[in-house]
C-alpha cells in the first residue's frame, strides 16, 4: 500500500521585522505538496489569506493554475483557512515538512486558540491536537500529540539526529541546517530568500505576491523531495517491524534504547520473567563512577601518507561477541561463591587477567540477548540474499536494504544499551565484557597480520603493515619487497583477502573478518582523523574523511573548502613534495582572495550549539553573546539551536565582542568589515599546519612568531 505523504509549509507575518507572535500575527500562506492528487487533480495547493489592507480586488475562491500545475485557494477568513488546513491534513497518512513540528504546527495551534477557532482534530481518532515543548538529548523539541493513525516526520528533526537513522548525514557534510543550505547541498536545488521586510511589504502593499507564493510553495516541495528521494521513513518502518515499537514512538525518540527494551520485554515474558522498574536495575552491582566503561581499542596510527591500503572489517563484531560468549542478563554468574569452571562458564578477563564477568555457556542455558541477536542475524542475511535478486535502486531493492539496515541498527544497539546507566537493564559487567573481548579480538588480528611477509600467486613478496586499527576494523598496507613491483586494487585485495581467510579458520563461529574497502591513498593526521581515496571494483574514486576540519562544524566553509582543495592536491598528486608546494600556493591564494573581499561572506559563518539556557553560561562564551544579541533584536534562540555568527573588525580585543549575528552581517546591516586576520590565522592556517606537520615539515619553518603562522616561510 502506498502511503499518502503530505508536506506543508506556512508563512506568518513578522512582527516589526521580528519573529511572529501567534497572538497578533496572521498566517499569510500555507503551501501543500503531496505524492497523491489532493485537489482538482493537482498535487500542489497554496492557501492564500487575502490581505487586510487594499484587498478590494481580492475575493475568496479556487484558481487552478495549469502553467504552475497547482491550485490557489484564497480566503478572507483566517479561521476558515485553518479549518481547511485541518481537513487536508486529516486525509493523509504521513505529515512532513521542514521544522513543522518545531514551528508551523505549534504556531497554527496557538493561532487557532487566539482566533477562537476551536479544537483541531487532524488524527484518525477524536482526539484534539496539542503541542508540548520539552528537552531531549540536550535539544529543545516539540511533542505533537492528537495525531493517532498518522505519522509525523519532520525532515529537520531527522537531519538533526546523530544516529544511524540519519542516512543523509553519512553522505553529506551539513554544518548549516537551514533549508536553503541543505536543499542546495543535498538536493542540488536553489531556494531564493524572502526577507521579513519583503513579507511585511507584501502584506501592506501587495508587492511581489507571485514571488512570495512561489517562495512558500518551494519549501513544501523540497520537504517532500527529501522524504521521497531518501526514503526517510523506510528505516523507521523497518525498525518498527523488528522491534514491535510504534513508528511514531521511534521517530520521536532520540535513540534506539527503547527498541532493545521492547524486544527484551517480549522475550522476558515468554520465559515468565519480568524487567525491573527504571532506576531499580541491579543497583547493588553498579560500579563507582570512576570505574568508567572501557571503550573500543584504537591503535596508535601511522601518521602521514600511506598508499595501497586494504580495510578489513569484523562482521557485526559486538553482536557476534555477545552471541559467541553468551553474554546476557540471564546467563551472568554473580555469586562469588561459585567456583570458576571453564567447562560450563565463559570467563571474561581484562588484559591484567582480572575477571570482568562470568557467563553460563550456551549449551547449558542460551541467553535471551544471544537468542534475539541470532534471530536478527538470520533476518538480515535473508534480506541481503533477497536484495541480490533485484536491480539496485528499484523499490523492492530499496525496501529490502532499509530492512537489513534497520536490523543492523538494532543488533548494534544491544551493547550500548547494556552500558547505558539510564537503561532499565544497565549492567556494567556485560558491557565491559563486550568491549574487553572486542579489544582482544582486534589485537589478535593485528598480531596475526602486522609485519607478516606474504607471497602472491605471481611469486612476488609483500610485507603487510597495520597502519590503523579502530573498534572493529584494521587498515592493512601492502608494501612490495621488490622495488619494481606495481601495486593496484586487484593485487592488494587478493593478497590481503587470502591472509584474512587464514585468520577466519582460527576463529570460533560466528566470528568472521572480511574485506571492506581498498584505499588508494590515505592521509592520517591523528587518531580517528584521516582522509582517504576509496576505489571500488569499477575503478570509481571517492574521497572520504573522518574527524578533520572539512566535516567538523566549528570550522567555517571558507576554511573547510580551502582545506578540501588542499587535501585533494595531497591525495591525488603522485609526488608528495610536489603536492606540498602546490598546497601552499593554494592556501596563500585563498588568503589573498579573502583580503581582497573575493570570498562569499556566507562562507565565513561560524556556529556553535546552545546546550543550555543562556543564563546558565558564562557571558564570555562567543555564541552566547550572539544569542543574547539576537534575543534583544526579537529573534530568541532555543536550547539545541546552532548560533551562527561572523567575526568582524570593530576594534575590540575579545573574540566574543567581535562576533556578530551572521544574518545581520550578510544582509549588510553591520557597519564593520570582516576580520580577515582572524579567519586567516585561526581558521585557514591551523588545519593546514597540522597536515604539513605529519608530512614531515618542521613547525619552526612555518612560524615567524607565536602569533602568526606563515606558510610562505616554508615555501
CB 177 within 8 A of CB 226: no
Cβ atoms 259, 245 nearer than 8 A: yes
| Residues 343 and 258 occupy one common structural domain | no
Closest CA to 674 of 622, 608, 603: 603
Distance CA 552, CA 16 (A): 36
| Final residue in a domain of this structure, among 500, 523, 547 | 547
Domain-embedded: residue 283: no
Q: What is the CATH number of the domain that holds 613?
A: 1.10.132.60
Pair (338, 432) in one structural domain: yes
Domain count, the chain: 4
Rounded to a whole number, what is the distance in angstroms from the first to the last CA of the chain? 64
DSSP, collapsed to helix, strand or coil, labels residue 367 as: coil
- What CATH number is given to the structural domain containing 296? 3.90.1600.10
**Prior bond to 510 cis, omega within 30?**
yes
The domain in which residue 436 lies consists of 292-329+332-348+426-547
pLDDT value at position 138?
Answer: 56
- Locate cell 483566517: which residue? 78
pLDDT at 139: 60
Q: Which three cell numbers stand for residue 323?
A: 552471541
Q: Check residue 711 and give its pLDDT.
A: 54
Residue 391: is the preceding peptide bond cis (ω within 30°)?
Answer: no
CA 236 to CA 224: how far, in whole Å? 17
Q: What is the pLDDT of residue 104?
A: 96
Query: What pLDDT shows up at residue 546?
Result: 87
**Does residue 357 lie in a domain region?**
no
In a domain, 358, yes or no: no
Domain boundary among 531, 547, 563: 547
In which residue are the cell numbers 553468551 written?
A: 326
- What pLDDT is stored for residue 535 in this prediction? 96
359 close to 331: Cβ distance less than 8 angstroms: yes
Are residues 221 and 98 both part of a single domain? Answer: yes
Answer whether residue 285 is part of any domain: no
Residues 702 and 577 in one domain: yes
| Torsional class of 202: left (φ above 0), alpha (ψ -120 to 50), beta (otherwise) | alpha
Pair (537, 484) in one structural domain? yes
Q: Does a structural domain hold residue 354?
A: no
> To which residue does cell 512558500 refer?
216
The secondary structure of 588-616, three-state, reads HHHHHHHHCCCCCHHHHCEEEECCCCHHH
User: By the 8 A CB rule, do 94 and 151 touch?
Assistant: yes
Among 547, 575, 603, which residue terminates a domain?
547
Query: Could you tell me if 560 and 618 lie in one domain?
Result: yes
CATH number at residue 176: 3.30.420.10
Q: Would you say 141 and 135 are in contact if contact means Cβ atoms under 8 Å apart?
A: yes
The whole-angstrom separation of Cα 574 and Cα 396 is: 43
359 falls within a domain = no
User: Do 382 and 474 sit in the same domain of this protein?
Assistant: no
Please, what are the averages of pLDDT over each run of 10 residues along the chain (715 residues)? Answer: 93 88 96 96 96 66 93 96 97 96 94 95 91 66 88 93 81 83 91 89 92 95 95 92 92 87 91 74 43 66 95 94 95 93 94 92 95 95 94 89 92 92 88 92 92 87 92 92 87 94 90 94 92 94 86 85 93 92 91 95 91 76 90 81 92 93 92 95 90 78 47 48
Output the CA–CA distances (angstroms, integers) from residue 317 to 409, 461, 602, in the order listed. Answer: 13, 31, 43
Per-residue confidence (pLDDT) for residue 212, from 0 to 100:
95
Three-state secondary structure string covering 268-308:
HHHCCCCCCCCCCCCHHHCCCCCCCCCCCCECCCCCEEEEE
Q: What is the model's pLDDT at position 714?
A: 42
pLDDT for the residue 19: 84
What was the pLDDT predicted at 715? 45
Parallel, antiparallel, or unpaired: how do β-strands 94-97 and 44-49 relate?
A: unpaired
Q: Are 493 and 522 within one domain?
A: yes
pLDDT, position 698:
64
My answer on whether 240 and 312 are in the same domain is no
Q: Do 33 and 174 have their domain in common?
A: yes
Instruction: Quickly list DSSP for 469-489.
Output: EETTEEEEEEEESSTT----H
Would 624 be classed as within a structural domain?
A: yes
* Four-residue CA torsion sign, 186, 189, 195, 196: negative
Ramachandran region of residue 668, left (φ > 0), alpha (ψ -120 to 50) or beta?
left
Q: Give the global pTM.
A: 0.84
Establish if 83 belongs to a structural domain.
yes
Q: Does residue 92 share a domain with residue 208?
A: yes
Say yes or no: 83 and 119 in one domain.
yes
- Report pLDDT for 707: 45
Amino acid at each position: 500500500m502506498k502511503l499518502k505523504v503530505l508536506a506543508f509549509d506556512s508563512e506568518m507575518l513578522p512582527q516589526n521585522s521580528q519573529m511572529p507572535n501567534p497572538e497578533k500575527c496572521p498566517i499569510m500562506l500555507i503551501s501543500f505538496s503531496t505524492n497523491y492528487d489532493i485537489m482538482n487533480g493537482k498535487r500542489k495547493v497554496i492557501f492564500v489569506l487575502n490581505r487586510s489592507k487594499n484587498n478590494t480586488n481580492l475575493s475568496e475562491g479556487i484558481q487552478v493554475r495549469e502553467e504552475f500545475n497547482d491550485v490557489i485557494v484564497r480566503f478572507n477568513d483566517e479561521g476558515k483557512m485553518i479549518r481547511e488546513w485541518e481537513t487536508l491534513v486529516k486525509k493523509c497518512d504521513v505529515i512532513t515538512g521542514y521544522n513543522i513540528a518545531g514551528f508551523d504546527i505549534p504556531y497554527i495551534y496557538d493561532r487557532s486558540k487566539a482566533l477562537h477557532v476551536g479544537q483541531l482534530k487532524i488524527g484518525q481518532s477524536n482526539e484534539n491536537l496539542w503541542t508540548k515543548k520539552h528537552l531531549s538529548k540536550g535539544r529543545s523539541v516539540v511533542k505533537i500529540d492528537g495525531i493517532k493513525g498518522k505519522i509525523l516526520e519532520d525532515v529537520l528533526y531527522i537531519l538533526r539526529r546523530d544516529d544511524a537513522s540519519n542516512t543523509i548525514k553519512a553522505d553529506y557534510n551539513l554544518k548549516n541546517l537551514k533549508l536553503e543550505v541543505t536543499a542546495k547541498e543535498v538536493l542540488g536545488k536553489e531556494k531564493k530568500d524572502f526577507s521579513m521586510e519583503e513579507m511585511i511589504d507584501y502584506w501592506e502593499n501587495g508587492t511581489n505576491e507571485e514571488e512570495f507564493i512561489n517562495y512558500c510553495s518551494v519549501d513544501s516541495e523540497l520537504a517532500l523531495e527529501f522524504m521521497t528521494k531518501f526514503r526517510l521513513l523506510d528505516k523507521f518502518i523497518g525498525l518498527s517491524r523488528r522491534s514491535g515499537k510504534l513508528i511514531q514512538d521511534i521517530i520521536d525518540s532520540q535513540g534506539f534504547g527503547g527498541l532493545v527494551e521492547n524486544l527484551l520485554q517480549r522475550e522476558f515474558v515468554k520465559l515468565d520473567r519480568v524487567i525491573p522498574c527504571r532506576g531499580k536495575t541491579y543497583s547493588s552491582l553498579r560500579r563507582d563512577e570512576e570505574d568508567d566503561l572501557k571503550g573500543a581499542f584504537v591503535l596508535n596510527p601511522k601518521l602521514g601518507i600511506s598508499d595501497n591500503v586494504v580495510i578489513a572489517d569484523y562482521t557485526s563484531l559486538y553482536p557476534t561477541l555477545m552471541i559467541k560468549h553468551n553474554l546476557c542478563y540471564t546467563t551472568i554468574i554473580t555469586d562469588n561463591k561459585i567456583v570458576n569452571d571453564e567447562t560450563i562458564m565463559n570467563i571474561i578477563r581484562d588484559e591484567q587477567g582480572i575477571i570482568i564477568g562470568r557467563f553460563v555457556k550456551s549449551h547449558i542455558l542460551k541467553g535471551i540477548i544471544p537468542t534475539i541477536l541470532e534471530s536478527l542475524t538470520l533476518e538480515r542475511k535473508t534480506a541481503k540474499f533477497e536484495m541480490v535478486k533485484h536491480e539496485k535502486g528499484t523499490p523492492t531493492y530499496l525496501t529490502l536494504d532499509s530492512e537489513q539496515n534497520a536490523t543492523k541498527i538494532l543488533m548494534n544497539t544491544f551493547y550500548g544499551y547494556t552500558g547505558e546507566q539510564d537503561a532499565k537493564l544497565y549492567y556494567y559487567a556485560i558491557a565491559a565484557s563486550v568491549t574487553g573481548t572486542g579489544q582482544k579480538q582486534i589485537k589478535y588480528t593485528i598480531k596475526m597480520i602486522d609485519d607478516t611477509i606474504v607471497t602472491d600467486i605471481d611469486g612476488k613478496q609483500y610485507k603487510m603493515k597495520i597502519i590503523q586499527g579502530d573498534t572493529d576494523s584494521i587498515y592493512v598496507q601492502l608494501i612490495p619487497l621488490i622495488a619494481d613491483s606495481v601495486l593496484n586494487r586487484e593485487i592488494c585485495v587478493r593478497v590481503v583477502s587470502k591472509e584474512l581467510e587464514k585468520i577466519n579458520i582460527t576463529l570460533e563461529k560466528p566470528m568472521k573478518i572480511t574485506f571492506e574497502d581498498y584505499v588508494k591513498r590515505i592521509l592520517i593526521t591523528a587518531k580517528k582523523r584521516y582522509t582517504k581515496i576509496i576505489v571500488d571494483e569499477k575503478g570509481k574514486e571517492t574521497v572520504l574523511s573522518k574527524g578533520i576540519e572539512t566535516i567538523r562544524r566549528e570550522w567555517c566553509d571558507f576554511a573547510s573548502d580551502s582545506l578540501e582543495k588542499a587535501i585533494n592536491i595531497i591525495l591525488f598528486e603522485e609526488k608528495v613534495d610536489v603536492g606540498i608546494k602546490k598546497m601552499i600556493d593554494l592556501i596563500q591564494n585563498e588568503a589573498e582572495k579573502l583580503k581582497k573581499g573575493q570570498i562569499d561572506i556566507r562562507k565565513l559563518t561560524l556556529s556553535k550549539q546552545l546546550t543550555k539556557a543562556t543564563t546558565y553560561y558564562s557571558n564570555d562564551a562567543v555564541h552566547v553573546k550572539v544569542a543574547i544579541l539576537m534575543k534583544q533584536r526579537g529573534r530568541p534562540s532555543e536550547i539545541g539551536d546552532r548560533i551562527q555568527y561572523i567575526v568582524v573588525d570593530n576594534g575590540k580585543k575579545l573574540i566574543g565582542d567581535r562576533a556578530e549575528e551572521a544574518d545581520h552581517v550578510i544582509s549588510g546591516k553591520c557597519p564593520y568589515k570582516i576580520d580577515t586576520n582572524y579567519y586567516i590565522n585561526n581558521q585557514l592556517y591551523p588545519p593546514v599546519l597540522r597536515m604539513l606537520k605529519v608530512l614531515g615539515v618542521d613547525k619552526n619553518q612555518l612560524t615567524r612568531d607565536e602569533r602568526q603562522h606563515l606558510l610562505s616561510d616554508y615555501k
